[in-house]
């Protein structure tokens, strides 16, 4: 692959859309990372009744997580704070990159922290 998509794509995107976040995984010390807030509208329909809320999510770069010691097995259950709210990572989606999944980003699916 002749193109470095980390430099061409992810760096500028995260520089513009990213916000500072604090991630605490298990017993590890909290680390500062950059995430993109991906909170989106979501509704549930039961019978004919629609209940509107949000699906809380955030993108983070896998190289940054790895460099700070946050391996994939530590994602779920981690506490993630950004934009004034606290969340728990309940699941994840790996988004990959043309340079390989280890150079892509991950979409954390979040739930409100108690």
Which among 14-22, 26-34, 51-59, 70-78 is the span making contact with other proteins, rule CB under 8 A? 51-59
Enter the DSSP assignment of 67: H
Please return the burial class of 10, using the count of CB atoms within 10 Å of its CB with bins 0-12, 13-18 and 19+: buried
Distance CA 37, CA 72 (A): 20
Residue from 2, 50, 73, 84 touching other proteins (CB under 8 A): that is 50
What is the nearest approach in angstroms of other proteins to the Cβ of residue 21? 18
Residues 18-37, one symbol each (x = binds other proteins by CB under 8 A, - = not), give --------------------
Residue 114 lies near other proteins (rule: CB under 8 A):
yes
Residue 51 lies near other proteins (rule: CB under 8 A):
yes
Beta strand 57-61 with 105-112 is antiparallel
Residue 49 lies near other proteins (rule: CB under 8 A):
yes
Residue 2 lies near other proteins (rule: CB under 8 A):
no
Binding site for other proteins (CB under 8 A): 42, 44-56, 90, 109, 111-112, 114
């Amino acid at each position: 692959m002749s193109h470095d998509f980390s430099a061409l794509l992810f760096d500028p995107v995260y520089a513009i859309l990213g916000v500072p976040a604090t991630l605490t995984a298990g017993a590890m010390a909290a680390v500062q990372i950059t995430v993109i807030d991906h909170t989106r509208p979501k509704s549930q329909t039961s019978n004919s009744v629609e209940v509107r809320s949000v699906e809380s999510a955030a993108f983070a770069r896998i190289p940054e997580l790895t460099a700070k010691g946050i391996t994939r097995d530590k994602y779920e259950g981690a506490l993630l704070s950004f934009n004034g709210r606290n969340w728990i990572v309940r699941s994840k989606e790996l988004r990959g990159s043309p340079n390989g999944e280890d150079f892509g980003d991950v979409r954390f699916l979040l739930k409100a922290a108690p």
